[in-house]
């Protein structure tokens, strides 16, 4: 297009394909006519309103606004350089958090495909990894922040995508394994690719569908949308669980294990020095299957469905291998206490039970929790976290361990070593999951909702002594605003979407001064270790003051 002697040009551009619409050319013409009729100003106004409905749900402020006012006048590349040189810019951390929300709003809307490895921002006919969907962490990480950041609608494309993979996954389960249910391996695409692919050290890992199913349950837990659970989620959860009912085999100790499988993309060393990949019952597999069965059982109870199947899963759960602590005090990655061929590997798969699952923390087993910490420390000491998405995962691990200082250190390291001047994540090359995982990690430092309780400021670093957030979501249909000063919560506002008994884990060394609703005092019960419980009603707003 060449334009001469013009002060301004308005270009209307529409794009469709025959992936869903065989009459895509006609659709394009209609949309173009409608756009021209509306005109630029009205189109722009509609776009901004549509975007801001989602973006304005959440606010985050870290530190004093006046303290970082001058830094906000600098472009992002200069601010990033200051951080790389050892400077502190809490405003840039908040901006990075919001950028992750912006990217999801812009790349994942109802009726579209889910965000891929590059989101939707690819300029090549041969992009890295073909801009596909890797489901041994990457696609899942893209959506870790969707619910907590109040973007449930942006989660929907993932649910539709999972549903589209059930039938091809059932065919793969039957042909490859002679099993019922549906299965997926480490990569997939929009054409229903569910078979093992690439090298054995990547492809023979049948856990992709099971892990994706966690997102269906997460959406239910955050929204308590029983219609979604009944009409969409449960049947998928059941098919994924059914595969493992048929697939699991008994080992020599009488345990039910997966296999042959692997710990994603990692290798171990045999006593003779030979490298190995395949194994039976790697730790991550055990954790994923346990959580899948647990979610399927809970769903069946809620929906009053499939009691025989539920009992079958309960019996099988009891025979799954428990986590094992190895010779270094670490959580074993494999059933045997092998040496790792690459001790600083980017995948830290055996900590799946720490994050995104809550299995390790929910045990309250001090030895197991310490083993998770040791695992993380050993990985980092050997150079782990050298990709953007791996560093983002590490932020979430430390947040789950309530270690705000180490979580923040890794937020800073993510900015320093794995962020491009425009704030996109660097694998390298560009890969968007690190942005999304980093946003999830920052949220996880401020708010957690696992194990039937909501924890306020669970991993607050000293650098974030002052701040506030609005609109973050907790499981159980709760929306939360919170202010804090000098590292201590001052006040919170909770908006309930259902009637329930709510348990809050308040920051350590603090007490609740008062809880009120519509000007009336609300009675509450003080529990063990800083827990406070009280009843909330649907549609009501609760104000909490802290001492």
Cβ atoms of 138 and 159 closer than 8 Å: no
- Report how far residue 244's alpha carbon sits from residue 542's, in angstroms, rounded to the nearest whole number: 43
- Report how far residue 231's alpha carbon sits from residue 237's, in angstroms, rounded to the nearest whole number: 12
The pLDDT tens digits of the residues spanning 250-279 come to 999 999 999 999 999 999 999 999 999 999
3-state secondary structure 379-422: HHHCCCCCCHHHHHHHHHHHHHCCCHHHHHHHHHHHHHHCECCC
pLDDT at 198: 87
The pLDDT tens digits of the residues spanning 73-132 come to 999 999 999 999 999 999 999 999 999 999 999 999 999 999 999 999 998 999 999 999
pLDDT at 468: 98
What pLDDT band is residue 238 in, cutting at 50, 70 and 90?
A: very high
What pLDDT band is residue 280 in, cutting at 50, 70 and 90?
A: very high
pLDDT at 81: 97
- Report how far residue 51's alpha carbon sits from residue 72's, in angstroms, rounded to the nearest whole number: 23
Looking at the DSSP bridge assignments, the partners of residue 250 are: 256
What is the Cα Rg of the chain in Å? 24
Cβ atoms of 306 and 230 closer than 8 Å: no
- Residue closest to 60 by CA, chosen among 470, 404, 521: 470
pLDDT at 461: 98
Give per-residue burial for 108-147: e unless 16+ CB within 10 Å, then b: beeeebbbbbbbeebeeeebeeebbbbbbbbbbbbbbbbb
Collapsing DSSP to helix, strand or coil, 68 comes out as coil
Q: Is the pLDDT of residue 65 over 80?
A: no
Residues 497-519, mean pLDDT to the nearest whole number: 96
Tokens for 211? 């892990």
What pLDDT band is residue 529 in, cutting at 50, 70 and 90?
A: confident
Cis peptide bond N-terminal to 341, omega within 30? no
Cis peptide bond N-terminal to 15, omega within 30? no
Domains of the chain as residue ranges with CATH:
10-56 (no CATH), 165-371 (1.50.10.10), 462-546 (2.60.40.1180)
pLDDT at 312: 98
Cβ atoms of 445 and 459 closer than 8 Å: yes
Distances, alpha carbon 117 to alpha carbons 114, 132, 218, 389, 435, in Å: 10, 6, 21, 11, 11
The pLDDT tens digits of the residues spanning 43-56 come to 999 999 999 999 99
- Report how far residue 385's alpha carbon sits from residue 202's, in angstroms, rounded to the nearest whole number: 19
pLDDT at 199: 85
Looking at the DSSP bridge assignments, the partners of residue 279 are: 261
Q: Is the pLDDT of residue 235 over 80?
A: yes
For the chain, helix, strand, coil in percent to 5 are: 45, 15, 40
Cβ atoms of 27 and 16 closer than 8 Å: yes
Q: Is the pLDDT of residue 246 over 90?
A: yes
- Report how far residue 213's alpha carbon sits from residue 207's, in angstroms, rounded to the nearest whole number: 10
What pLDDT band is residue 451 in, cutting at 50, 70 and 90?
A: confident
Give the sheet arrangement for strand 275-276, strand by strand. 275-276, 268-269, 339-340
pLDDT at 263: 97
- Report how far residue 427's alpha carbon sits from residue 118's, in angstroms, rounded to the nearest whole number: 11
Query: Across the chain, what does the average pLDDT equal?
Result: 97
Query: Does the CA dihedral 299-305-307-309 come out positive or negative?
Result: negative
pLDDT at 70: 87
Q: What is the largest CA-CA distance in the chain?
A: 81
What's CA 257's distance to the chain center, in Å?
Answer: 26
Share above pLDDT 90 across residues of the chain, in percent, rounded to a whole number:
96
The pLDDT tens digits of the residues spanning 306-340 come to 999 999 999 999 999 999 999 999 999 999 999 99
Q: Out of 64-78, 348-362, 390-404, which region has the weakest mean confidence (pLDDT)?
A: 64-78
Q: Is the pLDDT of residue 283 over 90?
A: yes
Cβ atoms of 261 and 196 closer than 8 Å: no
Q: Is the pLDDT of residue 64 over 90?
A: no
Tokens for 149? 């950041």
Concatenated DSSP letters for 339-374? EESSTT-S--GGGTTTTTS-HHHHTT-HHHHHHHHH
3-state secondary structure 152-168: HHHHHHHHHHHHHCHHH
The DSSP element (H or E) to which 124 belongs, if any, is none
What pLDDT band is residue 1 in, cutting at 50, 70 and 90?
A: confident
pLDDT at 201: 83
Enumerate residues 6+ apart whose C-beta is below 8 A from 534: 501, 502, 515, 522, 523, 524, 525, 542
Pairing of strands 500-505, 453-456: parallel
Residue showing tokens 């975007």: 51
Of residues 490 and 199, more confidence is placed in 490
Collapsing DSSP to helix, strand or coil, 295 comes out as helix
Q: Is the pLDDT of residue 493 over 80?
A: yes
Residue showing tokens 């199947």: 309
- Residue closest to 142 by CA, chosen among 191, 168, 169, 105: 105
3-state secondary structure 304-343: CCCHHHHHHHHHHHCCCCCCCECCCCCECCCCCCCEECCC
Predicted TM-score (pTM) of the model is 0.97
């Amino acid at each position: 297009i060449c334009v001469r002697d013009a002060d301004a040009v308005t270009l209307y551009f529409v794009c469709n394909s025959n992936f869903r619409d065989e009459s895509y050319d006609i659709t394009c013409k209609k949309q173009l006519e409608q756009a021209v009729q509306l005109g630029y100003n009205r189109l722009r106004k509609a776009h901004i309103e549509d975007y801001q409905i989602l973006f304005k749900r959440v606010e985050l402020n870290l530190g004093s606004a006046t303290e970082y006012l001058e830094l906000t006048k600098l472009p992002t590349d200069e601010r990033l350089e200051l951080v790389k040189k050892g400077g502190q810019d809490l405003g840039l951390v908040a901006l990075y958090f919001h950028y992750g929300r912006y990217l999801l709003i812009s790349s994942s809307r109802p009726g579209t495909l889910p965000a891929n490895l590059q989101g939707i921002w690819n300029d090549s006919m041969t992009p890295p990894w073909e801009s596909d969907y890797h489901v041994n962490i990457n696609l899942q990480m893209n959506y870790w922040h969707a619910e907590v950041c109040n973007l449930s609608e942006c989660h929907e494309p993932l649910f539709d995508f999972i549903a589209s993979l059930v039938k091809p996954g059932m065919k793969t389960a039957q042909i490859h394994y002679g099993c019922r249910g549906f299965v997926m391996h480490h990569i997939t695409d929009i054409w229903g690719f569910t078979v093992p692919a690439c090298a054995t050290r990547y492809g023979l890992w049948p856990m992709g569908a099971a892990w994706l199913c966690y997102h269906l349950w997460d959406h239910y837990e955050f929204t308590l949308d029983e219609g979604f659970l009944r009409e969409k989620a449960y049947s998928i959860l059941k098919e994924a669980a059914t595969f493992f009912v048929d697939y699991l085999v008994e080992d020599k100790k009488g345990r039910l294990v997966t296999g042959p499988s692997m710990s994603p993309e990692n290798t171990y060393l045999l006593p003779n020095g030979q490298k190995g990949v395949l194994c039976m019952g790697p730790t991550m597999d055990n954790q994923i299957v346990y959580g899948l069965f647990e979610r399927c059982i809970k769903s069946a109870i809620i929906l009053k469905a499939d009691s025989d199947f539920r009992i079958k899963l309960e019996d099988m759960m009891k025979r799954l291998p428990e986590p094992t602590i190895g010779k270094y005090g670490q959580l074993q990655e494999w059933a045997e206490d092998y040496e790792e061929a690459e001790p600083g590997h980017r995948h830290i798969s055996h900590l799946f039970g720490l994050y995104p699952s809550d299995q390790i923390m929910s045990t309250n087993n001090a030895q197991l929790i310490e083993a998770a910490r040791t695992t993380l420390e050993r990985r980092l000491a050997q150079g782990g976290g050298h990709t953007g998405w791996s560093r983002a995962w590490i932020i979430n691990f430390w947040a789950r361990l309530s270690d705000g200082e180490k979580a923040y250190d890794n937020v800073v390291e993510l900015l320093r070593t794995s962020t491009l001047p425009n704030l996109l994540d660097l694998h390298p090359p560009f890969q968007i999951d690190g942005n999304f995982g980093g946003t999830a990690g920052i949220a996880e430092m401020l708010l957690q909702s696992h194990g039937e309780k909501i924890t306020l400021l669970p991993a607050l670093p000293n650098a974030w002594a002052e701040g506030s957030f609005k609109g973050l979501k907790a499981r159980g249909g709760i929306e939360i605003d919170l202010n804090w000063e000098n590292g201590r919560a001052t006040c919170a506002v909770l908006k309930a979407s259902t009637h329930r008994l709510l348990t809050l884990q308040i920051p350590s060394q603090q007490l609740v001064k008062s809880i009120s609703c519509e000007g009336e005092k609300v009675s509450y019960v003080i529990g063990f270790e800083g827990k406070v419980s009280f009843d909330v009603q649907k549609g009501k707003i609760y104000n909490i003051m802290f001492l």
